[in-house]
Chain A
Amino acid sequence: MAVCVAVIAKENYPLFIKTTPTDNELQFYYTVHTSLDVVEEKISSVGKNVNDLRELYLGLLYPTEDYKVYGYVTNTKVKFVVVVESSNTALRDNEIRTMFKKLHGAYVDMLCNPFYTPGDNIVSRQFENVVLGMMQQD
């Protein structure tokens, strides 16, 4: 179960952040923001060769005592960050990958909306429902 799902634009500003309701939601924001350090590092470490089929899933970005932060970056450099609780051992790499794939699909669906301008904050109800589903599933 994810506790925080974030979509971050190419320019590293947040397009969408959803967290489980806690007293300190902002802490997740800080975590997601900090994780961008690692995301950028991972993106830039990949060779500049355009033909390289880059793995979109970036894996575990960094662990904290309570949470694990996973990253995913689309070909257009839109980043997805998912924070899960460390105690949730049921979530292994494969589950996280599936989660990201689902998120990517939802994002693409949202992007297909002609009324959405790329770069705007995401307000799509459908997208939000997908994210909420990811946060509620166990």
Chain B
Amino acid sequence: MEAKPIITCHGNQTLFSSIHPQVVNGLPKEVCEWRRSYGRAPRSVQLEGSFVPYDPDILPEEDTKTLVSRPYFHIYWTDCDLDTYKQSVRDDLAEWQAALKAKNIPDWLIVVVIPDESKVKAKLLPRSSVIDKVRNDFCSKQPERSIVLTEPLKTEPKSAESWHQFFQKLRSLLLQAYNRHLNKYEENMRGLRERRNEPGWNYFEYFAVQEELGFMLEVLGLREDALIQYDELDAMFDQFVENHASGAMVKWLSPLLQPCHSWTGLSLAKPLDFDLRDRVKRSQTSLLEFRNYLFCRQAALLFAMGRAWEVAERSFDFLHNTVAEMKALNVELPEGALQCWEVLSGLEVLAACQKHDTGQVDKCAIFTAHLWDHIRNKLKELGQLCSLMPGTTPTSQQLSQVVDLKAGMVYSADHVDKLQEALSSPSAFKKHYLEMCELAMGTFKHISRFRSSRMIGRELASFYMKISEAQKAEVFLLDAIKMYRQEGWVSLAHATMRELATCQKQMGNSHRYLKTACEVACSRYLSDTERRLHYDGVMSVLDESKYFLSGTVTVDGSGLVEPQQLELLRPTVKLDEEVTMVLQLHSNFPQPLTCQLLQVSLSPCPSAHLTQSDEINVAMPASSHVHSQPTVASIHRQASVSSLRKTFPSKIGSCAMYERRQGKVIVAGITCENSHELLKRTDSTPITETPATPVKGDYSHCLSASDVVLQPGLNDVELKMKTTTEGVFVPSQACVHMKSVEMVIPLSVTDLQLRVACYRPSFTLVPKHSGDFVAGIEQAATFTLNLGSQTLESATSARLCSSIPVRFSTVHGPEGDSSFTLPAQGPRTSVEVEVRVYLPLDHASSQSSFTPIECVVDGWPEPVSQEVRFLQPLRATHRIYTARETKYVQITLSGDSNTNFVITSPELSSPVAGFTFLNPTQEWSVSSKQAVSFVWQLEDAKDGEELDIAATFTCQFTCEVDLTRQVQKFTYDCRLSHFQVSVSLLYLTWYILDYWLSGEMLPAAADLKSHETSSWKTKMAGYKAGVTYTFNVSVTPVGSHCSAVRPHQLAYKVTTDSTAWALSGKTTGVFSVSEKAYHTQLKAVPLAAGFCHLPRRCGSKRDPESVDNSDSVASSGDADAQFGYGGTERGRVYNASLAKQVHVFPTPTTSDMEVTML
């Protein structure tokens, strides 16, 4: 719309033509704010005008309802002097004014052009210029309607200012004029609209009125407002159609309901189709034409505003709405015609968008992509309708239909040709359809709407399959499946997979078909019939495949056969034993599945997952292998979303936690070490799961079951294997073999472990008749060889040997031959051999120790070793007893083992002394439970000066478990030290120590008259507690011949329990004894009543080296060790009063008691 508001010019035309260009250009230079009524937002308007010469005939009548072609404003130009004014111009002006007034036009302006005033001589009379006259004559009431323009053709500041004032005035007056007219017009229009429900009202008449307003607004540059007019019209029409469809018939709509014969698409080539507009005004258009016109106008305005993308956006509503209206109004038109119209219109919009593209490709693409898709869809519909899709042949009826459709399209643009061509032949259709698909996909990809793009990909795939280009189709389908899988839309993935299966079957790719069809057959999202169909397909392919399928097909079986539970009946088995595992499988196949083989492979357990301490290499007794509790591990079902959830490990590391305050535990608990990891939010992590291609694992070590029929649903399959390798294993994969298909199912269970233990051979050597081996006797023993995992060949030779000379011999074999022959045996058995074992007494160590014994078996890599304990048969100890001057030697024999030994003829002999055996002669029995003691009195000794006597004890013994039954000899050497030996006399004791208590004895009988019955007490002498008594000590030397060797300086010490006795006097002292006895006395007070031991007195040899501190008794401890009562020198000082006790009576409780407090 290139029209501009019309402004008429009157007066001096030559003057105006000279300044016309300035006026035309100057007017739009500045914008003017247009305030509007009804609270509408003010608009900035750039005013323009088309200046035409005045003619009274073109003045519009007041009620003329045009806007665009109406002259809005009238200007009178004059540059006359006062005389001319008076002569002619005034009359002319008056006539012009009268003409305007007659038409009731108030919008006029009188412009007086004058030369620069400064050049004019000073005016003598005021108000005598032309402008003054004009104002006086014509503008007495409206002084603003006249203006002076000074020197318009000069570029002086003064003239520029004058121009500015002129334009300001002109603009405001122009706006005033427009506003007045538009308001009037709008009011009129509103009135018209209000009557829309009255009979006889015609939408198209109203349309023309409002469109006029739109035009006017467009003329004023207000395109936005112009668009609103069209949008209002659009909405109004929508409403009418809707009402009409729901029964509110209106008469003016009936021409639109006529059968439609033309479905020419939208044309955006021209912004305004006048021809079409006329027909619209006259209600002569079809619905399609009207819609085309309306959208064309809207599009033109949008393009003008640089909003091409909005055209694309609105085109959907346009297309969808129009089709909906066509249907709602039941407009009769051939089948396919609407599709043609949509394709053509769509293509026109796309072409126009491209043409008007203003660098908004991306913004536009969002909509054009959908538009392409829509057109593609419509084209597809057309193709299906006319049998142009591949694989179909059009019937003659369809061919004539095509001719009809073509006839309805009038050439308007290239794409009409295109569509006509596409409809003409299947090959052309294919070309155009594919092109459109590519464009739609490409556009979607460009704006990264990959989901939409894949959708088209699927359609394209089905098209390619129809034209037997399955290879191309497969790519699209795989892409789509991959995306659906990644996003967790399993139902869509499966639905697409169904197409893929068909596609792959068409391709003849049995390998891939089998994989896909298996999945389809197991889909939970597809119908049973569909699944059965594909199951049958799989089976038939497998039956045929014997001939052409090479090798096996590996399929990811995780969705087909789902493992539910794995159960090992015995988690720990020995090598070469049979393992049984129960695998619970959920078969998703719709029919029973016959599997030739079902395997579960085992892989070594990663050390991090070992749940128990690894005890494999420790030879375990055979009885402890059975673990009664079978281990069960469950596997989570792989539901569509389960991969998102975090599965907790079977074991959670925990540690004790203590919180202390000031050393005290205030909180104790168990805490998880890596709780933050375990409890980490998982729903924010995106799915990164990609279906891995199945790789068949290592099945060299696997459990298997053959000929299993898997029913749909749950199945328990028992798998077995014989273990061949030791170690800890976890099931890693399951494999179902069905004809030539292998379904590989990953099993990710780490808490189910199979331990295969390997046992080393071992042997035991157990005495037959007694508990222990005893050195010195030959014993029968049972040699048991546990083979463990080893085997024995027949007649394997084995022998026993040891580092110490233990003699082994077989029971029946020759003496000294330690080798024997073992029979053939399998693993986990044992062999028993009877052997004789003998360890000579002299080789046995005195302590009963373990002796290493090895069994060397021919053919085994290493000998089997074991330790055997040999016990001493007898154990002897000796002891010397003293009774005053007499000495006795005691030999005690005891046994280490519970074997009974019979002892005969014990003998003690010494080269220097004689012994008298005091026991009666008999047989003695000795074992660990029974000891026997022999006592000899030391009688005489041969001459000699030795202080020690070496004596030898010998005895003979027999044992019932001894195989030889021979009498054995037992020898024991002992040393009897510190014996003084003389020719004539034997005094082994040097001194006799004696001590007693003296003082006033308490006659027991006197106090205890009443106790006559207790006769022993009457005889008993007693002492009274608390009374001081004399404690006498005497040391008498004996054996005068010993005086040379015995010490003469002696020390003594009296020690006592301080609660029983209080001692006063010299409790320690050094004294000398030569030939006479030594006496000393001490004061002693018994403190407690009862039978009391006397204070203990001990003597000791005076240490010659410590003479300096002669009064010291510190050495008494040492003296005890040297000279006292212990050790080997026991008996040198014979303590005759050692066990002497005295009877102390309690003191009657008197105040005298305090005296005793010492």
Binding site for B on A (CB under 8 A): 9-14, 26, 29-30, 33-34, 36-38, 41, 62-65, 86-87, 89, 117-121
Contacts and interface: CB of A to CB of B under 8 A. Distances in A.
Nearest to B319: A65
A41 B377 CA distance: 24
Given A12-B488, A13-B489, A117-B645, A86 B450 contact: no
A11 B487 CA distance: 7
Interface string B681-696: 0111011000000000
Contacts of A119: 641, 644-645, 682-683
A120 B641 contact: yes
Interface of A is mostly: loop
**10 closest residue pairs by CB, A with B:** A13-B488, A37-B449, A37-B451, A119-B683, A12-B487, A34-B451, A34-B452, A37-B452, A119-B644, A63-B316
B320 interface: yes
Interface string B671-708: 00000000000111011000000000000000000000
Nearest to B455: A34
Contact of B683 (A10, A33, A87, A89): A10
B642 to A, nearest CB: 9
A65 B645 contact: no
Nearest to A15: B641
A30 B487 contact: no
B228 interface: no
Given A36-B451, A65-B323, A119-B641, A13 B487 contact: yes
B509 interface: no
A118 B320 contact: no
B451 A11 contact: no
B492 interface: yes
Contacts of A10: 683-684
Contacts of A14: 488-489, 491
A34 to B, nearest CB: 5
B489 A33 contact: yes
Nearest to B246: A89
A86 B488 contact: no
Given A9-B641, A26-B492, A119-B644, 12 more contacts: A10-B683, A13-B640, A29-B491, A33-B451, A34-B452, A37-B450, A37-B451, A37-B452, A86-B320, A119-B645, A121-B639, A121-B640
Contacts of B484: 33
A10 to B, nearest CB: 7
A29 B644 CA distance: 21
Q: Which of B316, B320, B489, B687 has the most CB of A within 10 A?
A: B489
B768 interface: no
16 contacts: A9-B488, A12-B488, A13-B489, A13-B641, A14-B488, A14-B489, A33-B451, A33-B492, A34-B452, A34-B455, A37-B451, A65-B377, A86-B324, A117-B645, A119-B645, A119-B682
A36 to B, nearest CB: 6
Contacts of A120: 641, 645
| Residue among B324, B491, B641 with max Cβ neighbours from chain A (10 Å) | B641
Interface in B221-256: 242
Contacts of A29: 489, 491-492, 495
A43 B1042 CA distance: 122
A22 B645 CA distance: 33
Contacts of B683: 9-11, 118-119
Interface string B634-649: 0000011100110000
B867 interface: no
A29 B451 CA distance: 12
Given A29-B491, A37-B451, A65-B374, A11 B323 contact: no
B615 interface: no
B317 interface: yes
A12 B103 CA distance: 71
Contacts of A89: 242
Contacts of B444: 37
Contact of B492 (A9, A30, A38): A30
Contacts of B319: 65
Contacts of A36: 451, 487
Nearest to A76: B683
Contacts of A62: 316, 370
Contacts of B640: 13, 121
B835 to A, nearest CB: 70
